[in-house]
């Protein structure tokens, strides 16, 4: 099947499941007795799971993503991870954000991708984060990134309308910095602030121009993805969208907490994809769902602890739907210190998206050459 024809610039929406999403309760080996033996407290009912084939199924709360799977729009990447897995949230997420497991880097992989897309930094909206703060994945020196908490109220000094007054306010703000290198810091803040002004002025027009027949669910993830859709449909030149949801760190009360969170993400992604299709953007966007690591095979009586061997999803009309990567064996002899063994390097997924979707030089961004996957339609 060929890629749907579109003249729109290709984009990617990244959804980070912060805290370590439990891969085994997301894509479930419902015919493997090892799963039930190791998880007496948190195993999903095999009669309620959403079957993908004779061996694997989705969590019963993932009805939205299962519907997209049935339409051939979902690639599920099993056993994703990196060599010598680390169970620290901060270090593992840093590895995913910089595409470098061996050393600490000061540039995020999407920050480098954004710079490659817009080398002169002419578009302050090439990359946008929907949520608070700036994910390390988007961070790189000289790369502007807008971070939007709520698109309907987004702005920098929103109550100051006059351009001269804004500049004065920004100058006063920059004067708070002193000491060694103060002039450089102040100039960076001033330039960044001017770019933020410009981005804010542009972004605030997105909700005004948005019309849709899709009724999004009422949740933080749905709100963020609806904001992303409004920006995408406004054609501001944004190529990289980012948002996150947590906490998936389910050491206790996993069945209740994980079920709620994974349902929220699944429903929101379904609404978002439906919105893209209604506006004829479904063929020009990929949605990527990932987390920093999986969780232990055995439950702890109420939840699961940090592990390895995770799962990722790539979703869109241009996706060659199916299962990718060998599902890790749960047999005791195949476990790695009680964890699932990772079967494919996450940088293979990154490289596929960079090379074959965004038309960028992947090795420069992911720090090496990695075998690409075939989850995109040719």
pLDDT at 133 over 90: no
The confidence band for 324, taking pLDDT boundaries of 50, 70 and 90, is very high
The predicted structure's pLDDT at residue 156:
43
Give me the DSSP letters along 103-120.
S--SS-HHHHHHHHHSTT
Give the residue among 50, 7, 77, 21 at the shortest CA–CA distance from 319: 77
The predicted structure's pLDDT at residue 306:
96
pLDDT at 174 over 50: no
Asked if residues 218 and 168 have their Cβ atoms less than 8 Å apart, the reply is no
The confidence band for 150, taking pLDDT boundaries of 50, 70 and 90, is confident
Asked if residues 304 and 41 have their Cβ atoms less than 8 Å apart, the reply is no
Exposure pattern of 351-373 as b/e (b: 16+ CB <10 Å)? bbbbbbbbebebeebbbeebebb
The predicted structure's pLDDT at residue 189:
40
- 101, 122, 228, 309 from 296: Cα distances, Å: 20, 45, 33, 9
Tell me the sheet residues that pair with 146. Answer: 128
- Mean pLDDT lowest among 4-8, 166-170, 196-200: 166-170
Burial class of residue 3, CB neighbours in 10 A (0-12, 13-18, 19+): middle
Q: Averaged over 131-145, what is the pLDDT? A: 88
Q: Report the chain's mean pLDDT, rounded to a whole number.
A: 88
Q: Averaged over 254-268, what is the pLDDT? A: 98
The predicted structure's pLDDT at residue 157:
39
Rounded to an integer, what distance in angstroms lies between the CA atom of residue 238 and that of residue 148?
13
Give the model confidence (pLDDT) of 44-93 as tens digits. Answer: 999 999 999 999 999 999 999 999 999 999 999 999 999 988 888 999 99
Rounded to an integer, what distance in angstroms lies between the CA atom of residue 1 and that of residue 225?
28
- Contacts of residue 219, defined as CB under 8 A and 6 or more positions apart, other chains included, come to 264, 267, 268
Model confidence, pTM:
0.89
Pairwise pLDDT comparison (37 vs 158), residue with the higher score = 37
The predicted structure's pLDDT at residue 6:
54
pLDDT at 330 over 90: yes
The predicted structure's pLDDT at residue 37:
97
Q: Averaged over 246-275, what is the pLDDT? A: 97
Asked if residues 258 and 248 have their Cβ atoms less than 8 Å apart, the reply is yes
The predicted structure's pLDDT at residue 58:
98
pLDDT at 159 over 80: no
pLDDT at 240 over 80: yes
């Amino acid at each position: 099947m060929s890629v749907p024809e579109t003249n729109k610039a290709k984009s990617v929406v990244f959804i980070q499941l912060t805290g370590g999403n439990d891969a085994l309760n997301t894509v479930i080996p419902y015919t493997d007795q090892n799963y039930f033996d190791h998880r007496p407290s948190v195993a999903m009912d095999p009669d309620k799971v959403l079957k993908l084939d004779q061996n694997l199924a989705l969590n019963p709360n993932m009805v939205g993503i299962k519907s997209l799977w049935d339409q051939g729009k979902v690639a599920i990447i099993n056993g994703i991870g990196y060599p010598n897995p680390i169970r620290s949230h901060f270090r593992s997420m840093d590895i995913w954000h910089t595409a470098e497991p061996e050393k600490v880097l000061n540039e995020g992989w999407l920050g480098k991708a954004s710079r490659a897309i817009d080398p002169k930094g002419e578009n302050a909206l090439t990359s946008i984060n929907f949520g608070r703060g700036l994910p390390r994945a988007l961070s790189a020196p000289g790369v502007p990134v807008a971070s939007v908490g709520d698109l309907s109220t987004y702005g920098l000094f929103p109550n100051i309308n006059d351009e001269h007054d804004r500049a004065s306010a920004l100058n006063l703000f920059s004067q708070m910095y002193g000491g060694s290198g103060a002039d450089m810091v102040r100039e960076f803040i001033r330039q960044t602030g001017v770019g933020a002004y410009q981005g804010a002025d542009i972004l605030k027009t997105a909700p005004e121009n948005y019309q849709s027949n899709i009724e999004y669910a009422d949740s933080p993830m749905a709100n963020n993805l609806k904001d992303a859709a409004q920006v995408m449909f406004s054609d501001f030149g944004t190529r990289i969208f980012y948002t996150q949801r947590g906490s998936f760190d389910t050491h206790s009360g996993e069945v209740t907490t994980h079920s709620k969170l994974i349902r929220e993400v699944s429903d929101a992604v379904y609404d978002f994809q439906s919105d893209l299709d209604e506006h004829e953007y479904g063929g020009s966007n990929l949605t990527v769902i990932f987390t920093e690591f999986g969780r232990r095979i055995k439950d702890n009586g109420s939840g699961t602890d940090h592990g390895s061997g995770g799962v990722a999803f790539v979703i869109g009309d241009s996706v060659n739907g199916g299962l990718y990567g060998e599902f890790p064996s749960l047999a005791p002899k195949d476990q790695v210190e009680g964890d699932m063994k990772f079967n494919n390097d996450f940088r293979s997924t990154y490289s596929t998206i960079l090379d074959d979707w965004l038309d960028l030089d992947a090795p420069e961004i992911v720090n090496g050459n990695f075998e690409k996957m075939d989850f995109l339609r040719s």
